[in-house]
Amino acid sequence: MISTVEKKLIISNPDELFFGLAPKPVKCQRGFEIGNGVVYPEINFTLPQIIINESTWKEVKSIYTEIIGEVCKRAIELKTPALVVEFELLPPMTMNPEWGAEITKILSENLDVFYKKSGLKSALRVTPVDIRDTNRPPLMRSGELTVNMFRSFELCAQAGADMLSIESTGGKEVHDDALVNADLSGIIFSLGILAVKDMQYLWERVVDISKNHNVIPAGDTGCAFANTAMILADKGMIPKTLAAVIRVATVVRSLQAYLAGAIGPSKDCAYEGPYIKAITGIPISMEGKTSACAHLSYLGNIASAAADLWSNESVQNVKLLSAYAPVVSLEQLIYDCRLMNLALKNGNEFTLKYRNLMVESDAGLDPQAYILKPEIIISLSQKIIQEDSPYKMTLCAVDETLKLLRDASDKKEIKLNEMELRWLDILSMQFDEIPGDEINLIKKMKNGIYADKFLPAEYDI
């Protein structure tokens, strides 16, 4: 059952939107609560160069075993108040759900041992891959891939996951093309209709599985859309203003997970997280400068302004001069968190000032950073939730962000070059032609240039 969104924000004062504190904290099994006054590190890691198959499986397992041992050891040495570990499955581990579960078990058992032996509080987030996207046009509700994806959630939950997440891809088959063409109608169709419908379908099921296994349905991310856009924008391939617009638009599709019963913490790569936090009050995970190992970014500091978990996104298990890269990342995260947690102890006024450093650090340098300013998050969120349907909310998100960025550029709060300004014009022109009514856009898209990219029946449209 998908509930509808309240017309009132849970956090409506920008000064109450900061790191470490969320109105609806999430309680974890091994002794701690996320969003209750402390920022915790969320460590991510992945395999070094290796192929995954039967013959390498033993080595794959030993790599994960080694990583988790080293990570826990250092976490204890640095006395972190608690540790969140994310295990992002790789595609073969979701296609063979038993494999993903096997690694989950290794990680979970190790966390148990260190909890019992050394009192290391911890939680394990497990994130199966949205393998439905393997074939194009993808089958979103049928077929072996869908079955295996849901089995992967089941088996990982049984094997010891504490939280379930996914970077779901419903609508991406249209978005990929729309993105490089900077075609707002395709983007809005993808995010406001396809992605929303798929999120509703998918998260009802993930929430059910979570309830059955007593694990936390944690949340989703607009990664496949907005982070793809971000990377392309950072490489100068698409306008940054477009990436910023897409980010705000993903708020609506990501929100569906929480309306379906997910309770957070959101996924690290979901830079729309602070919007979700303002709207729903759930704690969020964020990544920024300390995830430079996974992707470079213009959001390095501002990303931490509202973070309840602080993540490195991902790093291969390669040896650096000091230690393996996951240990290096963990150490950096822990030191970042220490500063934030001490700031929190110094009281609200100081915390705010410190948060504002993070914001000021980046907000003026990039439109994608600009839309993460607390006042803007609150004001845009406020407008978005007044709309009645996810489609209308998405339209509102796009429209308001376009206006906002033009305004910010006029007021010289951000500097947009001539290319960006040109595209801001084009995007606004495009927007004016998008039907205000969902049905009409669907009709248009079923016969338009994306017609062979997606299967309407798989979205029940």
Partner 1 sequence: MNLIEVIKENVIRGHTDSNAKYPPDLAGKPGVKDLVQNAIDEMIPASQILNESLIAGMEIVGSKFSAGEYFVPDMLLSAQAMKSGMQIIEPLLKSEDSKKIGTVVIGTVKGDMHDIGKNLVRMMLEGGGFEVIDLGINTPPEKFIEAAKKYPDAIIGMSALLTTTMENMRISIEALRANGLNNKVIIGGAAASQKFADEIHADGFTRDAAQSVQLVKRLIGLAA
Binding residues vs a second copy (CB under 8 A): 46, 74, 78-79, 288-290, 292-298, 300-301, 314-316, 318, 320-323, 325, 327-328, 331-332, 334-336, 338-339, 342-343, 346, 350, 353-354, 357-358, 360-362, 365
Q: What does 1 bind: ligand B12, partner 1, a second copy, none (CB cut-off 5 to 8 Å by kind)?
A: none
Q: Is 202 in the site for ligand B12 (CB under 6 A)?
A: no
Given the structure tokens 């998918």, which residue do they identify? 202
Q: Is 422 in the site for partner 1 (CB under 8 A)?
A: yes
- Which of 31, 91, 143, 435 contacts ligand B12 by CB under 6 A? 91
Q: What does 384 bind: partner 1, a second copy, ligand B12, none (CB cut-off 5 to 8 Å by kind)?
A: none
Q: Is 227 in the site for ligand B12 (CB under 6 A)?
A: yes
Q: Is 46 in the site for partner 1 (CB under 8 A)?
A: yes
What residues between 25 and 64 interact with ligand B12 by CB under 6 A?
46-47
Long-range contacts formed by 322-327: CB under 8 A, 24+ apart: 323/70, 323/74, 324/66, 324/67, 324/70, 325/45, 325/293, 326/43, 326/44, 326/45, 326/67, 326/70, 326/71, 327/70, 327/71, 327/74
Q: What is the DSSP string of 381-402?
A: HHHHHHSSSHHHHHHHHHHHHH
Between residues 201 and 324, which has the closer beta carbon with respect to partner 1?
A: 324
Between residues 42 and 162, which has the closer beta carbon with respect to a second copy?
A: 42
Site map 162..201 versus partner 1, x via CB under 8 A: --------------x---xxxx------------------
What is the C-alpha separation between 259 and 1, in angstroms, rounded? 8
What residues between 305 and 324 interact with ligand B12 by CB under 6 A?
313-314, 321-322
Between residues 233 and 249, which has the closer beta carbon with respect to a second copy?
A: 233
Three-state SS sequence of 26-83: EEECECEEEEECCCEEEEECECCCCCCCHHHHHHHHHHHHHHHHHHHHHHHHCCCCCE
Three-state secondary-structure class, residue 459: helix
* Binding span for ligand B12 by CB under 6 A among 100-108, 123-131, 139-147, 255-263: 123-131
Beta strand 122-127 pairing with 163-165:
parallel
Which tokens go with 298?
């213009």
Q: Is 129 in the site for ligand B12 (CB under 6 A)?
A: yes
Which tokens go with 188?
């809005």
**How many residues sit in the footprint of partner 1 (CB under 8 A)?**
34
Contacts of 90 (CB under 8 A, 6+ apart): 46, 47, 52, 129
Q: What does 223 bind: a second copy, partner 1, ligand B12, none (CB cut-off 5 to 8 Å by kind)?
A: ligand B12
Q: Is 435 in the site for partner 1 (CB under 8 A)?
A: no
165 and 26 in contact (C-beta within 8 Å)?
no
Q: Is 92 in the site for ligand B12 (CB under 6 A)?
A: no
Q: What does 148 bind: a second copy, partner 1, ligand B12, none (CB cut-off 5 to 8 Å by kind)?
A: none
- Which of 24, 33, 36, 52 contacts partner 1 by CB under 8 A? 52
CB environment 111-143: b (16+ within 10 A), e (fewer): bbebbeeeebbbbbbbbbbbbbbeeeebebbee
Between residues 438 and 458, which has the closer beta carbon with respect to ligand B12?
A: 458
Beta strand 32-36 pairing with 40-44:
unpaired
* Binding span for ligand B12 by CB under 6 A among 84-92, 139-147, 195-203, 238-246: 84-92
Q: What is the DSSP string of 347-375?
A: -HHHHHHHHHHHHHHHHTT-HHHHTTSHH
Between residues 139 and 461, which has the closer beta carbon with respect to partner 1?
A: 139
Between residues 63 and 216, which has the closer beta carbon with respect to ligand B12?
A: 63
What is the C-alpha separation between 320 and 322, in angstroms, rounded? 5
Q: What does 419 bind: partner 1, a second copy, ligand B12, none (CB cut-off 5 to 8 Å by kind)?
A: partner 1
Element housing 298 (H / E): none
- Which of 206, 223, 251, 343 contacts ligand B12 by CB under 6 A? 223
Contacts of 388 (CB under 8 A, 6+ apart): none
> Which residues are at the interface with partner 1 (CB under 8 A)?
46-52, 90-92, 133-136, 176, 180-183, 228, 232, 236-239, 316, 319, 321, 419, 422-423, 425-426, 429
